Amino acid sequence: MPPPFAVPRTLETSSPLHAPAPHESGLKHASGEALYVDDLPSPPGTLVGHIIASPHAHARLVRHDAARARALPGVHAVLFAEDIPGENDIGPVIHDEPLLAEGEVHCVGQAVALVLAESAALCREAARRVELEYEVLPALLSIREAVAANAFLSEPHTIRRGEPEAALATAPVRIEGECMTGAQDHFYLETQAALAVLEEDGALRIWSSTQHPSEVQAKVAEVMGLGRHQVVVEVPRMGGGFGGKETQAAPFAALAALGATRTRRPVKVWLNRDQDMVQTGKRHPFWTRFEAGFSEDGHLLGLKAELISDGGWSNDLSRAILDRALFHMDNAYFLPNVQVTGRVARTNFASNTAFRGFGGPQGMYVVEEVLNRGAERLGLDPAELRRRNFYREAPAHRTHYEQPVEGNRLPRIHAELMASSEYTRRRAEIDQFNASSRWTKRGIGYQPVKFGISFTTSFLNQAGALAVIYADGSVQLNHGGTEMGQGLHTKMRAVCAHELGVSIDRVRVMNTATDKVPNTSATAASSGSDLNGQAVKAACETLRERLRPIAARLLQVERGEAEGLAFASGQVFYPARPQRSVSFAEVTQAAYLAQVSLSATGYYRTPDISYDRVAGRGKPFHYFAFGAAVVEVEISSLTGEHRVRRVDILHDVGNSLVPSIDRGQVEGGFVQGLGWLTNEEVLFDEKGRLLTHSPDTYKIPALGDVPEEFRVALLQHAPQEDTIHGSKAVGEPPFMLAIGVVTALRHAIAAFAPPRTEVHLASPATPEAILRAVEAARATPR
Amino acid sequence: MDRLRFYLNDRLIEESALSPTLTLLRYLRDRAHLMGTKEGCAEGDCGACTVAVLEQDGKGAPVLRAINSCLLLLPMVQGKRVYTVESLKEAGKPHKVQEVLAQGLGSQCGYCTPGVAMALLEACHRKDMDEPWKWDAQMCGNLCRCTGYRPIREAVVSVAGLGPRDRFAKALSETRPESMALAYTAGAQRFFTPASFQELWDVLDAHPEARFVVGGTDLSLEVTKRFTEPPLLVSLEALPALRTLEPRNGGHRLGAAVWLTDLEDYAHATCPPLERMLRYFGARQIKNRATVGGNLCTASPIGDLAPVLISLGAEAVLLSRAGERRMALEDFFVDYRRTALRPGELLAAVDVPAQPVGARSLAYKVSKRRELDISAVSAGFRVVVDAAGQVLEARLAYGGMGPRPARARHVEQALVGQPWTEERVEAALPRLDEDFTPRTDHRGSAWYRAQVAKNLLRGFFQETLESPSPRLEARHSATVQVR
């Protein structure tokens, strides 16, 4: 296998593209100089905005009286729904989510009032003095309860192909059952934060920790009854997002805006960890019932599944998340006869929201559960069973929604990874180990991933950039994407420096701001580099073409030769005569004197995508990203604890823009998936109150949970057509590689049971879930 | 009246009007405007607020220790030197730990990174980073949601024990310890750190309602999570007699104010069961502040030291102006979060006796996550087996199984006098259901607790077949190390 991160350098050696590099803010992170919203210098007079949240899962708000709170010195205002000048709504797609409760509360943690005071302690004291009278109403506290009450937030969405009923009726091996996947808290290390400052004419400037500044701008404008031109939203950087700051940063920014306008003082709203975990939505839990039919040799002949997600109390992005779950029900496998139906249930929990993978992991989990049960029943190696079901050449290469699976790299990835991970040898060794080990068993799992890249709401696939060159040749780059740690700015800076042929330290990536690049989409759906990269490239190309004739004049090259001028290493030169060059700064200075504009916008929209939701047919994705993992675990039958011994990943990011950044996304995504599937357990009490509202009780992976051996490689020589410099998206797909942990755990658990026993392992696979599965396996009659 | 007095990044700070329950983290961000130190959870569970404090270890040697500033009340750094992430660069040049993190892509979003850097700084200056498990243990108190930890692990491996000649090395060699003694009042709040027992008894006579504190890793949560302002705290940190940590009568004396980091170091050579419990007791930052006495006196049913010490036959040494009294440690725990301490009395030490010939002993902690978690079930076992293979004595202590840590008396009775065999252990195990009725909560169900409690004894039997007190492997798969 080639060395994993040494990408062949086919371009000019001075280009930062396709070469490993540190994170653009790495040293600032490590020195504490990197600023997040809560670190920005507060303007004089800044007030603290404190949210009074509902203590009930469902209740009528009968009476509210804040007179005693307002009387407290240092308290500037206590605001309720009636104090909102514009529309009391913060729903991103469907207008079903009041910013402050009106008459009724629908979950614990829903915002009821906003206290504005000179300190957090004063806010708390004021909040204690606000009199709120509730009449508690019955609440829906599980998907099953919601289904029983016929409480839904969407109509069913069905995708169907072939004749699943007939296929199931004749399949030699039938499996039916149900599975649940749980919620997951984003646990970004930086909690939700916003700072709002009132400017002239009622305009607002807002610093927000958000993945979607344009939506924050739009929602603030609606809530305040302003035009969007009167609201500027700026994002310095985020201390993690993972989807949790796509829609759900907006309410806190809007409350800060409301407070700033009402008190005419700057207002900061910052949630502490417990508030953040209680008040914000999580990854959607899914409950699925399925029927599947296999041939004796492990082909999945027919599949019917009904997926119900827990949307929480309002829509948020639940429908799109459900759609993506349905789109990924196939994962890497050709399903000739299939019907998948999905619906969003309404419950009395915080509204669930985007989270890395956006429904993809939940959909994929279902088919992987089906395949695992099939492999166990048939006594087949689950990796081989998966390979047999892979998408193949045309015509069996169309998804269940009829998008061709073009550029399918899974057969290649599968072959390379099986060899490099020595899967077959290790599986045999593990079986030997298990035969001689009484209390401890090992397991190995294989997980391929195919993930569709694009927003499935097609119009969102657009991006803009604004590149500014100063006369001294230094560059400011603005683009519509936000930096949440994923390294987007590092990549965009590399693209810009490459196009202009300057070194990266001559390019400064500016804070994302709605007054620089308007009408942007969220930095989400793994699309940040794909979309913004093309926009940055377009802006820089425009500028380079403007500079070309200037440089030609300075170099006194023939007019016909101007087209061939190279921009590299901070110089402009004719490649045939590299010894004669002019510096980029000389060219820009000359351009300035020649009255040439040195700023330009760039714009990009993804071509050729569309989806007909009614028919369940179309091409929602620009392309597919691929990857695969082999995972080895060990479990204890005494405590149910497990350890991941080794992980091998081979992942397809096309020709990586910055391989070191992509490796970080692959590793981080995998470990986050590992958390979702093992120890991250979101639990509520019988009144709908979150029990796991801090890291004391909610356990994301710690350093000791990561694989002892973690071998990650990027697929080499894999340029993707029609993308930014041949690269592919990476943010979400690796998350789902972690499902291989489940397959490995099942292998280990099955070692306690007679052959061909189906394992019953709940998700997340906590020590208790594993111990229960082991006890059930042991109890299987031989 | 005394002032608060400490050094922040080598600058002397003196304050006289601040609340004594203001945390160092809030002071750094709100008063000193040092924004590098982050609040991620305000409960010592994420490490984003980690700073380094120069102080003396149990042997009196100067050390630099990584500590969660969110749980440190300002009077707890009286006379000490506090360093934040802003102190790492010298003359504009990044410190080694910063270079390693940046070059190795040890940060993505960067929010946990200042805390990671400060935990790495401690690793740099530790002289005992000689075993691989210590790398994980050093960093397990720093949660990172982005990187997947591989680069952070590589960072600690590359800097551990490096001993760079930086400003911290200079401070370690040059700094003379200053007094922690303090009598501080601000508004209605008071904080005393007496330097002698005489002063302590006088304070207690005048203020019988005083609450004791040392590390504050438990008590500070009342401030940071429940937003209370305890009116009167008395710190026992400046009483050297409570710091005793030494062999005694063939066993050990563990002073109540001994930091768990020092105890772990001590137990490594002297007491394997105690070392095993301390490995997963908590994060490095917590063990750098938490004490023996704090863990026992909070009397939580899931306090991790209680089961192992009870199983070893430890005695509590109680001290008051009237003198000393002793009791078996299991009798120290009266009920849920209630101890046998009387007003004006404190826990001075725990005496662990010499272990009998034929003793097999181990301790276990089972939690959802191996590191940095609270037990679902914990256990300390000691069984004394004579030359003929008969059980002479069994002390089986559990945490997490009831309102207080307690012994499984029925199981013990079923074992004593019997041969120490797998059959007899199996025969005795059902009696555990007579000893405990565990509850269901977010850490585990009653079924899980009961099942694991039994399995731990099964595992203990298997594990001690060949060695009476085996050590933990570097990266073992489970609490119980049996194949």
DSSP letter string, B407-418: E-HHHHHHHTTS
Catalytic residue among A732, A758, A768, A775: A732
CB contact under 8 A, B111 and A189: yes
Amino acid at A359: G
Residues B157 and B78 in one domain: yes
Residue at A312 is within a domain: no
Query: What pLDDT score does B1 carry?
Result: 73
Residue B236 to residue B74: CA distance in whole angstroms: 15
Picking from A560, A585, A605, the residue at the C-terminal end of a domain is A605
Residue A171 to residue A177: CA distance in whole angstroms: 16
Query: What pLDDT score does A2 carry?
Result: 39
Residues A445 and A581 in one domain: no
The pTM of the full predicted model, rounded to 2 decimals, is 0.97
Residue A649, pLDDT above cutoff 70: yes
CB contact under 8 A, B43 and A39: no
Q: B447 CB contacts (<8 Å, ≥6 apart)?
A: none
Q: What is the mean pLDDT of residues A243-265?
A: 98
Residue A719's alpha-carbon distances to A107, A403, A407, A727, B177, in angstroms, are 48, 21, 10, 6, 62
CB contact under 8 A, B482 and A439: yes
Q: Give me the residue from B37, B143, B479 closest to A639, CB to CB.
A: B479
- Taking the CA atoms of A111, A114, A119 and A122 in sequence, report the sign of the dihedral they define: negative
Range of the domain at B215: 182-239
Query: What pLDDT score does A11 carry?
Result: 36
CATH number at residue B210: 3.30.43.10
DSSP per-residue codes, B283-326: -HHHHTT-BHHHHHHTT-TT-SHHHHHHHTT-EEEEEETTEEEE
Residue A328, pLDDT above cutoff 90: yes
CB contact under 8 A, B144 and A189: yes
Report yes or no: B84 and B111 within 8 Å, Cβ to Cβ.
Answer: no
Q: Give me the residue from A485, A635, A695 closest to B109, CB to CB.
A: A485
Residues of B in contact with A691 (CB under 8 A): 441-442
With cut-offs at 50, 70 and 90, classify the pLDDT of residue A12: very low
Residue at B302 is within a domain: yes
Residue A68 to residue A128: CA distance in whole angstroms: 9
Q: What is the mean pLDDT of residues A7-21?
A: 68
Query: What pLDDT score does A726 carry?
Result: 97
Residues A621 and A665 in one domain: yes
CB contact under 8 A, B102 and A771: no
Residues B235 and B246 in one domain: no
Residue A643 to residue A674: CA distance in whole angstroms: 11
pLDDT tens for A362-392 read 999 999 999 999 999 999 999 999 999 999 9
Chain B residue whose CA is closest to A660: B105
CB contact under 8 A, A768 and B37: no
Amino acid at A623: Y
Sheet with B406-407, strands from edge to edge, namely B359-366, B377-385, B391-399, B406-407
Q: What ipTM was reported for this prediction? A: 0.97
Q: What is the mean pLDDT of residues B114-136?
A: 95
Query: What pLDDT score does B58 carry?
Result: 87
Residue at B471 is within a domain: no
Residues B165 and B215 in one domain: no
Q: A314 CB contacts (<8 Å, ≥6 apart)?
A: A91, A94, A96, A97, A106, A153, A351
Residue at A69 is within a domain: no
Residue B34 to residue A524: CA distance in whole angstroms: 32
Residues A641 and A713 in one domain: yes
Strand partners, B6: B13
With cut-offs at 50, 70 and 90, classify the pLDDT of residue A537: very high
Query: What pLDDT score does B267 carry?
Result: 96
E strand or H helix at A29: helix A26-31
CA of B412 to nearest chain A CA: how many angstroms apart? 20
CB contact under 8 A, A664 and B451: no
**Surface of A (186-225) touching B: CB under 8 A:** 186-191
Given the DSSP bridges, would you call strands B251-255 and B232-235 parallel, antiparallel or unpaired? unpaired
pLDDT tens for B80-97 read 999 999 999 999 999 999
Residues B205 and B168 in one domain: no
Domain count within chain A: 2
Report yes or no: B400 and B375 within 8 Å, Cβ to Cβ.
Answer: yes
Residues A479 and A446 in one domain: no
- Taking the CA atoms of A5, A6, A12 and A14 in sequence, report the sign of the dihedral they define: positive
CATH number at residue A572: 3.30.365.10
CB contact under 8 A, B105 and A767: no
Q: Is the preceding peptide bond at A578 cis, omega within 30 degrees of 0?
A: no
CATH number at residue B296: 3.30.390.50
pLDDT tens for A453-510 read 999 999 999 999 999 999 999 999 999 999 999 999 999 999 999 999 999 999 999 9
Range of the domain at A470: 26-34+462-605
A158 in contact with B, Cβ within 8 Å: no
The alpha carbon torsion through A575, A581, A584, A585 (nearest 10 deg) reads 180
Q: Is the preceding peptide bond at A764 cis, omega within 30 degrees of 0?
A: yes
Residue A716, pLDDT above cutoff 90: yes
Residue at B469 is within a domain: no
Q: Identify the CA nearest to A145 among candidates A283, A319, A318, A349.
A: A349
B111 in contact with A, Cβ within 8 Å: yes
pLDDT tens for B204-226 read 999 988 999 999 999 999 999 99
Q: What are phi and psi of B309, to 5 degrees?
A: -70, -40
A236 in contact with B, Cβ within 8 Å: no
pLDDT tens for A398-444 read 999 999 999 999 999 999 999 999 999 999 999 999 999 999 999 99
CB contact under 8 A, A635 and B98: no
B201 in contact with A, Cβ within 8 Å: no
Query: What pLDDT score does B434 carry?
Result: 98
Residue A711, pLDDT above cutoff 80: yes
Residue B385's alpha-carbon distances to A360, A476, B307, B361, B415, in angstroms, are 57, 76, 20, 11, 11
Residues A647 and A778 in one domain: yes
CA of B438 to nearest chain A CA: how many angstroms apart? 15
Active site residue A215: no
Residues B249 and B232 in one domain: no
B472 in contact with A, Cβ within 8 Å: no
Instruction: Assign residue A116 a region (left: φ > 0; alpha: ψ between -120 and 50; beta: otherwise).
Output: beta
CA of A649 to nearest chain B CA: how many angstroms apart? 14
Domain count within chain B: 3
Residues A724 and A782 in one domain: yes
Q: Give me the residue from A27, A672, A705 closest to B369, CB to CB.
A: A705
Picking from B174, B190, B216, the residue at the C-terminal end of a domain is B174
Residues B36 and B106 in one domain: yes
E strand or H helix at A466: strand A462-469
Q: Read off the tokens for B141.
A: 């108190």
Residues B403 and B456 in one domain: yes
Chain B residue whose CA is closest to A436: B483
CA of A707 to nearest chain B CA: how many angstroms apart? 9
Residues A569 and A701 in one domain: no
Residue at A205 is within a domain: no
With cut-offs at 50, 70 and 90, classify the pLDDT of residue A13: low
Residue A3, pLDDT above cutoff 60: no
Picking from A605, A627, A658, the residue at the C-terminal end of a domain is A605
Interface probe for B, chosen from A211, A491, A638 (most Cβ of B below 10 Å), is A638
E strand or H helix at A263: helix A250-263
A98 in contact with B, Cβ within 8 Å: no
Sheet with B62-68, strands from edge to edge, namely B11-15, B4-8, B81-83, B50-56, B62-68
- Tokens 């491996």 locate to B157
pLDDT tens for B154-187 read 999 999 999 999 999 999 999 999 999 999 999 9
CB contact under 8 A, A638 and B478: yes
Exposure class string for A131-155: b at 16+ Cβ within 10 A, else e: ebebeeeebbbbbeebeeeeeebbe
Chain A residue whose CA is closest to B118: A30
Query: What pLDDT score does A560 carry?
Result: 81
Q: What are phi and psi of A241, to 5 degrees?
A: -135, -65
Residue at A41 is within a domain: no
Q: Read off the tokens for B436.
A: 């405990």
Neighbours of B93 (CB within 10 A): 9
Residue A37: Cβ-neighbour burial (10 angstroms; 0-12, 13-18, 19+): buried
Residue at A291 is within a domain: no
Residues A630 and A717 in one domain: yes
Q: Identify the CA nearest to B379 among candidates B458, B465, B321.
A: B458
